[in-house]
Structure 1
């Protein structure tokens, strides 16, 4: 992936091109014809893509100037790299999903076209219904630059059948006994592993590579990877040392968490607990085991919650930015937002209700939505990001490798992370 500097150059180039085009002639631009829109996404889920196509077909039926709207799935692990390469190569899509950990690069660089004016002027859009918390990450100078189409809380799923088979309390029983905390989860997870050979708890999609998913654990210790200004490394803080000590002991000593090179899929019945986002619940009816959904376990600092976010942006270098912005207004209007809520928790305050979310997520109970999902969305902290996200992320990932050995010195290893990444922070 290119750095934020590359994206800035792309944005400036686009802005200059538009400015020159505006100065070249006072003749009104011709109405677009036979417009073909392309939007990059990272989902290959057939049901989700079918819904996107259905929304697109409705838009095309009302806009004869639009010939087609294509949703292009890109592999998640290489998504941002591939998208940025397309932009740099002059083949930018018209719209794109953007991960929260790359939001600062895209929003600040000028790579995205402003959309707020289009959304506000669209009849029936109800722009003021968008949550301030959901839109905060996607604004520049007080203006919305990308639409937060999904604000999904990280939660803990539990396999109650596996817990019972190991002679352990169910998730609800752990919570009722005041043991819904990370130490309690690790203790029970170790017992499950010893009794059944299956995993205790899994931080899904971490796999000892996607280190920022561990924020769903270290936030319980009050730890942060860098200061609020992004310029100072905090990996060597006492809170982070304690959090990684817990994780290291879980992986290498207690065996309550799969170690490096070992995988366990909760949804295939291979672990007692998993941390992931609520959108995964859709596969549980086919799991064949009794399950439950609870908030993230408490840490030493008490209760907390984390959300993963994704935005939809209109690329400034796309060929049809005004039409793309208009389609985004249609894609995210109140009616379609309600349809999308079954997988992508909405940014609309009016739709953060048990009634709306229960209708969109029939797998979840009203109690789970009211006591886990909605509070998680309303209070969750976004997963950490930084400008020049790819380089910073790769540097942290490489430096953290020193921790994932049985005899690692946690404190010294985390000092090494700061030594490696601090020169990149604040640039």
Structure 2
């Protein structure tokens, strides 16, 4: 090749490189949750040549602090995986999507109305859920078999899971649990309240009245505390800081049952025992309730490449991106009314696990609070009071009464 020809090739390559735009996509996740994100990037890169994706990843525990700092400095990633969207949208740090949606005719009809609602604020759309955070009851079949117990079923109610958790808890000679019957995730308390016929607010998106301190709410939270404090069949949330998460406890055989979402499937597939899933137990009167909501994708209002960010967001939230995530089985896809996406999720399920449980449980979803002040209320009022209950320092009745007073004062001050 002549020098002139070589120079022409190099110039062309340099021009092509300069034509590409790089944007940053941030997300959290356990190690087992990360591969689908990189599969999406690979598929996006294969589908077009103009936009490249750089990744900003952090574990759940540190992800949000970094994002908040970047938002304050105007350097947030172009596309972000976030939850509690109204709290961000109300501060002007997210870009509204309505004009892009209308201009490009992006199809939102395959998304559950509730999932669209939680990604909206003040009449504007700010993002799309990646998935619905549907919870199911995972159970270790080997431990049930060893105890001679029947597996959890769709007929279970709270008393059934409490009795099973007690029977499956194993203690050493000093009375210390070496195997717990059940492990819970601290942020799942709303579904317990809903299963008992209660609610946190009169309207989860635009509340005017706090309701969690109702008798139904008190009974639900006290039920959780009793399994921890009286039965000792559920590890305390403080103890889990040392013992490990629900994922770690279940995958290592130290707990017989956990309530969590589909994101754990890849990790649990490596477990040295057989397991399956069942619906969440119904409340005492037969009420079934699950989570309706999930994290999803938004664009930073300070992005230097908003059009490119929107192009990538369309891919993430459209058939291609949703199908990639659905085909891994790590989450119930938000657009599962799309037959291609739904089919990818069902076919991805391991042969030993029925994904239909996830689909059925999604139908029981109820919206948790999702309004601009909710995160502050939850972190500064709700969680500190719940901690006092779970450690036995206060009864649920007393703590929720105090919680209600503080929440109402908070609203009155606004």
Interval containing the TM-score (normalised by the shorter chain): 0.7 to 0.9
Once residues 79 and 194 of structure 2 are traced to their aligned partners in structure 1, the CA distance between those partners, rounded to angstroms, is 33
Is the contact made by 1:351 and 1:357 (CA closer than 8 Å) also made in structure 2? no
Alpha-carbon contact 1:307-1:380 (below 8 Å) kept: yes
Aligned partners of 2:135 and 2:290 also within 8 Å = yes
- Structure 1 counterpart SS, 2:65: helix
C-alpha displacement of 1:60: 4.7
Q: Separation in 1 of the partners of 2:221 and 2:316?
A: 41
Distance 1:169 1:300, change over 3 A: same
Whether the aligned pair in 2 keeps the contact of 1:307 and 1:376 (CA below 8 Å) is no
Using the alignment, how far apart are the partners of 1:156 and 1:406 within structure 2? 26
Per the TM alignment, residue 146 of structure 1 is displaced from its structure 2 partner at its CA by 0.5
Task: Measure the CA separation in 2 of the matches of 1:352 and 1:185.
Answer: 36
SS in 1 for 2:130: strand
**Which residue is equivalent to 1:392?**
377
What's the TM-score once normalised by structure 1's chain length? 0.80
User: Any conservation in 2 of the 1:352–1:374 contact (CA below 8 Å)?
Assistant: no
> Unmatched 5+ residue regions in structure 1?
1-31, 207-211
Structure 2 residue corresponding to 1:220, chosen from 186, 195, 213: 195
Alignment of 1:168 with 2:168, yes or no, is no
Q: Describe the shift of the 1:166–1:262 C-alpha distance in structure 2 as closer, same or farther (beyond 3 A).
A: farther
Aligned to 2:163: 187
Q: Give the drift of 1:286.
A: 1.4
* CA-to-aligned-CA distance 1:350-394 (integer Å, 9 cap, x gap): 2387633222333564xx223x21122234123333423442222
SS in 2 for 1:359: helix
Whole-angstrom CA distance in 2 between matches of 1:422 and 1:203: 28
1:72 matched to which residue of 2?
A: 56
> Deviations for 1:68-109, whole angstroms, at most 9, x for unmatched residues?
31120133123333212211112121111111xx22212344
Question: Does residue 411 of structure 2 align to residue 425 of structure 1?
Answer: yes
Q: Distance in 2 between matches of 1:424 and 1:81?
A: 24
Q: Distance in 1 between matches of 2:371 and 2:226?
A: 29
Q: Alignment partner of 1:113: what SS?
A: coil
User: Hey, what's the Cα distance between the residues in 2 that align with 1:78 and 1:363?
Assistant: 35
Separation in 1, partners of 2:117, 2:268: 32
2:304 pairs with one of 305, 315, 319: 319
Q: Residues 154 and 383 of structure 1: is their aligned pair in 2 closer, same or farther, counting only changes over 3 Å?
A: farther
Give the CA deviation at 1:401. Answer: 2.6
- Taking only aligned residues, the RMSD between alpha carbons, in angstroms, comes to 2.6
Count of residues paired in the alignment: 375
Instruction: Measure, in 2, the Cα distance between the counterparts of 1:181 and 1:352.
Output: 34
Q: Of 395, 398, 414, which residue of structure 1 is paired with 2:400? A: 414
Aligned residues of 1:235 and 1:418 also touching (Cα < 8 A): yes
Q: How does 1:21-420 map to 2 (within 5 A)?
A: 33-43=19-29, 45=31, 46-61=34-49, 63=50, 66=51, 68-99=52-83, 102-122=84-104, 126-140=107-121, 142-172=123-153, 175=154, 178=155, 180-194=156-170, 197-204=178-185, 206=186, 212-228=187-203, 229-263=206-240, 265-301=249-285, 302-341=287-326, 342=328, 343-348=330-335, 349-351=337-339, 355-362=343-350, 365=353, 368-370=354-356, 372-395=357-380, 396-406=382-392, 408-420=394-406
Cα gap change, 1:344 to 1:391, in 2 (>3 Å): same
Judge conservation of contact 2:132–2:294 (CA < 8 Å) in 1: yes
Give 1:326 shift: 1.5
- Contact 1:120 1:126 (8 Å CA) reproduced: no
Secondary structure of the structure 2 residue equivalent to 1:198: strand
Contact 2:332–2:358 under 8 Å retained in 1: no
Contact 1:115 1:144 in 2 (8 A): yes
In terms of mean alpha carbon deviation, does 79-88 or 352-361 score higher? 352-361
Tell whether the 8 Å contact from 1:386 to 1:392 is kept in structure 2 after alignment: no
